[in-house]
């Protein structure tokens, strides 16, 4: 460097951490309720390895009934916010999410609710 004929060799190493979401509890089972009565529970979403702010979007399952009608019996609410924020200590703040179910028709369902960040993870 600076016309010095000496050569310097740098060796760099690192690891790539993909952002991910963990859930507590890891799966959800809602109690049976009478028709048109809402059942609800809260879950914690624990973001890991997010280096910048992101916003969580939710895809809810659609179900087709015997007569061909389609229903969306699940709903999701974030009482505080659905933004993933990086704290000053380098960790991500936990998010609280309320998941509810209500149906005016008798159903028994098994489905997935997808939580997706702005980069479609």
60 cis-preceded (ω within 30 degrees of 0): no
Structure tokens at 75: 């709903």
| Cα 110 from chain centroid (whole Å) | 18
Q: Which residue ranges make up each domain of the chain?
A: 20-116
How confident is the prediction for the chain on average, in pLDDT? 88
Residue 89: predicted pLDDT: 83
pLDDT class of 88 with cuts at 50, 70, 90: confident
pLDDT class of 56 with cuts at 50, 70, 90: very high
Res. 1: pLDDT tops 70 = no
CATH code for residues 20-116: 2.60.40
Spatial neighbors of 49 by CB under 8 A, at least 6 apart, are 17, 18, 19, 20, 92
Spatial neighbors of 7 by CB under 8 A, at least 6 apart, are none
């Amino acid at each position: 460097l600076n016309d010095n004929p000496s050569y310097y060799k740098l060796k760099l190493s690192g690891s790539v951490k993909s952002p991910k979401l963990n859930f507590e509890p890891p799966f959800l089972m809602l109690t049976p309720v009478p028709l048109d009565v809402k059942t609800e529970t809260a879950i914690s979403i624990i973001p890991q390895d997010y280096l910048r702010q992101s916003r969580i979007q939710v895809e809810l399952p659609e179900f087709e009934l015997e007569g061909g009608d389609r229903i969306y019996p699940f709903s999701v609410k974030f009482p505080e916010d659905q933004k993933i924020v990086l704290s000053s200590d380098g960790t991500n703040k936990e998010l609280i999410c309320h998941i509810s179910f209500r149906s005016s028709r008798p159903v028994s369902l098994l489905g997935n609710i997808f939580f997706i960040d702005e980069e479609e993870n």
